[in-house]
């Protein structure tokens, strides 16, 4: 007997060129997960159609049918981002992303002003896990909030999903109001290290034991007080090592490290660290179709990838890596490789002979670390994304660190004057130390 075609088939599509491959309603750019998120937040079709006027009742039925099929599927795991939203609608077990949102609803008043604790608008919807409109600056610790915002603004770095700083100002001058923003988490966890070499060295040395002496990050501009920073944010390099067409703007249109610093090793060599900071991200896209991949992107990274493949026999095909999070991992790996290659020719990055990638992400975010749905061939190299990448990356050029272990190390080594900062960090991001929150009344 022929299998009945799913009822959503004609209305839900996936195209790598539309919303980076997320399932969307056909003829729109509305992801299925956004529809489910809104229905989970408030099951009101009238409000849903005000937010997405291009949708119809039949489109909504198709989204629900898609979610039902994903959750009920016995042929494999459903796409994680769809399963999460569907679980919220159906009362199932939420993912790390959802438990963090609920935790913020509970602890908001311990961290932010009463005005900021009102629901904030995100993607045109009031969200209890977002800061109130006009208070997104409170997404950064008050000990260095103004200085960090000034750092981003003076370097024309846009905040991800950031807000305008004021009428008439260009760019995104203020951080996102979403409390699960990984960019804000990165700045909150690392900003005090921009000036404190001992803190920076002691925080990272448990994971990078070859660290001998932190070096000034000479490629970045001075801090407001004129000092040279020791750590930079959204670093793209001093040269366009990957020949990217959009290179030049930090944090957008080019491969950027969320953070970067350099140090002298005990063997006398200079090492540059390109860091990525993850929080509640989850991806779960389908396998890429080579015929629909962006040709400009394919052409940009093909030659650096060839050099990588020559040194690492057995790498999966190039096109395998054009889905997240592997696309980010590949680009950072290639940027590190090309910086080293340039150094061998006398034009490297601030004298760095060794360039490595450090990924900091929550152990609790299993939807990120254990998700090989988009690139199943990579699972042969490890049980997690990070162990698999450590196997295929250039030797000693990739390190995965859990957020839990890193923040614990920071707490242990921070000097007494910074204890208010570490208390903020562990209250805000110490999910493993706090009781599980399953429901918010």
| CATH number of the domain encompassing residue 60 | 1.10.10.10
Is residue 283 assigned to a domain?
Answer: yes
Q: What is the 8-class DSSP label of residue 193?
A: G
Tell the residue number behind the tokens 């609920």, with chain if given: 102
Lowest mean pLDDT across 88-92, 188-192, 311-315 = 88-92
Domain of 143 in residue numbering reads as 97-180+412-433
Return d(Cα 259, Cα 322) in angstroms, integer. 23
pLDDT at residue 165, rounded to an integer:
54
Give the burial class of 231: count Cβ atoms within 10 A of its Cβ; 0-12 exposed, 13-18 middle, 19 or more buried.
buried
User: Are 350 and 232 part of one and the same domain?
Assistant: yes
Return d(Cα 334, Cα 3) in angstroms, integer. 44
Is residue 148 assigned to a domain?
Answer: yes
pTM: 0.81
The whole-angstrom distance between residue 101's C-alpha and the CA centroid of its chain comes to: 16
Give the burial class of 118: count Cβ atoms within 10 A of its Cβ; 0-12 exposed, 13-18 middle, 19 or more buried.
middle
pLDDT at residue 141, rounded to an integer:
97
User: Are 239 and 330 part of one and the same domain?
Assistant: yes
The whole-angstrom distance between residue 283's C-alpha and the CA centroid of its chain comes to: 10
The whole-angstrom distance between residue 270's C-alpha and the CA centroid of its chain comes to: 27
**CB neighbourhood size of 313 (10 A):** 6
Q: Taking a C-beta distance cutoff of 8 angstroms, is the pair 382, 391 a contact?
A: yes
Q: pLDDT tens, 154-207?
A: 999 989 877 755 433 444 689 999 999 999 999 999 999 999 999 999 999 999
Q: Please state, in angstroms and as integers, the Cα–Cα distance from residue 369 to each residue in 18, 222, 297, 379, 382, following that order.
A: 25, 36, 25, 11, 11
Q: What is the mean pLDDT of the chain?
A: 87
Using pLDDT thresholds of 50, 70 and 90, give the confidence band for residue 38. confident
Q: pLDDT tens, 52-62?
A: 888 898 999 99
Lowest mean pLDDT across 70-79, 111-120, 213-222, 272-281 = 70-79
Return d(Cα 435, Cα 441) in angstroms, integer. 16
Which residue, 41, 58, 92, sits at the end of a domain?
A: 92
User: Are 247 and 134 part of one and the same domain?
Assistant: no
Q: Taking a C-beta distance cutoff of 8 angstroms, is the pair 211, 265 a contact?
A: yes
pLDDT at residue 76, rounded to an integer:
45
Lowest mean pLDDT across 6-20, 95-109, 226-240, 340-354 = 6-20
Using pLDDT thresholds of 50, 70 and 90, give the confidence band for residue 439. very low
User: Are 335 and 247 part of one and the same domain?
Assistant: yes
Is residue 416 assigned to a domain?
Answer: yes
Coil, helix or strand for 234? strand
User: Are 80 and 141 part of one and the same domain?
Assistant: no
Return d(Cα 352, Cα 344) in angstroms, integer. 10
User: Are 133 and 196 part of one and the same domain?
Assistant: no
Query: Average pLDDT in the 246-268 region?
Result: 94
pLDDT reading at 98 higher than 70: yes
pLDDT at residue 193, rounded to an integer:
98
Return d(Cα 175, Cα 169) in angstroms, integer. 14
Burial 55-78 (b: 16+ CB within 10 A, else e): beeebbebbbbbbbbbeeeeeeeb
User: Are 102 and 25 part of one and the same domain?
Assistant: no
Return d(Cα 138, Cα 176) in angstroms, integer. 10
Return d(Cα 290, Cα 16) in angstroms, integer. 10
User: Are 207 and 278 part of one and the same domain?
Assistant: yes
Total number of domains constituting the chain: 3
User: Are 243 and 266 part of one and the same domain?
Assistant: yes
User: Are 43 and 161 part of one and the same domain?
Assistant: no
Which residue, 67, 92, 117, sits at the end of a domain?
A: 92
User: Are 155 and 193 part of one and the same domain?
Assistant: no
User: Are 238 and 292 part of one and the same domain?
Assistant: yes
Is residue 6 assigned to a domain?
Answer: no
Give the burial class of 168: count Cβ atoms within 10 A of its Cβ; 0-12 exposed, 13-18 middle, 19 or more buried.
exposed
Looking at per-residue pLDDT, the higher value among 334 and 290 belongs to 334
pLDDT at residue 74, rounded to an integer:
42
Which residue, 45, 66, 92, sits at the end of a domain?
A: 92
Q: Taking a C-beta distance cutoff of 8 angstroms, is the pair 311, 394 a contact?
A: yes
Q: Please state, in angstroms and as integers, the Cα–Cα distance from residue 107 to each residue in 102, 162, 364, following that order.
A: 9, 23, 19
Query: Average pLDDT in the 356-380 region?
Result: 92
């Amino acid at each position: 007997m022929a299998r009945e075609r799913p009822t959503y088939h004609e209305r839900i599509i996936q195209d790598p060129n539309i919303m980076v491959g997320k399932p969307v309603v056909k003829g729109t750019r509305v992801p299925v997960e956004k529809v489910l998120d809104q229905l989970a937040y408030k099951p009101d079709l009238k409000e849903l159609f005000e937010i997405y006027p291009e949708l119809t009742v039949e489109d909504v039925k198709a989204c629900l049918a898609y979610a039902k099929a994903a959750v009920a599927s016995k042929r494999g795991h459903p796409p994680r981002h769809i399963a999460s939203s569907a679980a919220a609608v159906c009362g199932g077990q939420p993912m790390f992303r959802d438990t963090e949102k609920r935790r913020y609803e509970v602890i908001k008043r311990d961290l932010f002003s009463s005005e900021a604790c009102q629901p904030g608008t995100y993607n045109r919807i009031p969200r209890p896990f977002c800061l109130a409109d006009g208070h997104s600056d409170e997404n950064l610790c008050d000990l260095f909030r103004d200085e960090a915002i000034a750092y981003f603004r003076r370097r024309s770095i846009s905040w991800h999903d950031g807000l305008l700083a004021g009428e008439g100002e260009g760019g995104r001058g203020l951080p996102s109001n979403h409390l699960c923003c990984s960019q804000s988490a990165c700045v909150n966890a690392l900003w005090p290290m921009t000036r404190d070499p001992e803190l920076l060295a002691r925080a990272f040395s448990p994971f990078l034991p070859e660290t001998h002496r932190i070096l000034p990050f000479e490629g970045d501009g001075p801090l407001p007080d004129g000092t040279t920073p020791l750590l930079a944010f959204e670093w793209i390099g001093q040269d366009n090592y990957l020949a990217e067409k959009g290179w030049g703007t930090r944090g957008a249109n080019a491969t950027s490290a969320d953070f970067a610093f350099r140090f002298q090793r005990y063997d006398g060599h200079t090492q540059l660290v390109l860091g990525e900071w993850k929080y509640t991200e989850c991806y779960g896209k389908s396998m890429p179709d080579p015929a629909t991949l962006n040709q400009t992107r394919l052409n940009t990274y093909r030659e650096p990838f060839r050099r990588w493949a020559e040194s690492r026999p057995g790498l999966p095909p190039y096109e395998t890596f054009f889905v997240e999070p592997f696309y980010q991992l590949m680009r950072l790996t290639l940027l590190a490789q090309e910086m080293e290659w340039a150094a061998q020719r006398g034009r490297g990055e601030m004298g760095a002979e060794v360039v490595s990638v450090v990924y900091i992400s929550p152990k609790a975010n299993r939807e990120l670390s254990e998700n090989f749905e988009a690139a199943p061939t990579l699972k042969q190299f490890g049980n997690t994304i990070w162990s698999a990448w450590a196997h295929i990356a250039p030797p000693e050029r990739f390190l995965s660190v859990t957020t839990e272990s890193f923040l614990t190390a920071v707490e242990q080594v921070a000097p007494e004057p910074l204890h208010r900062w570490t208390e903020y960090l562990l209250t805000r991001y110490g999910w493993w130390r706090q009781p599980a929150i399953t429901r918010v009344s």
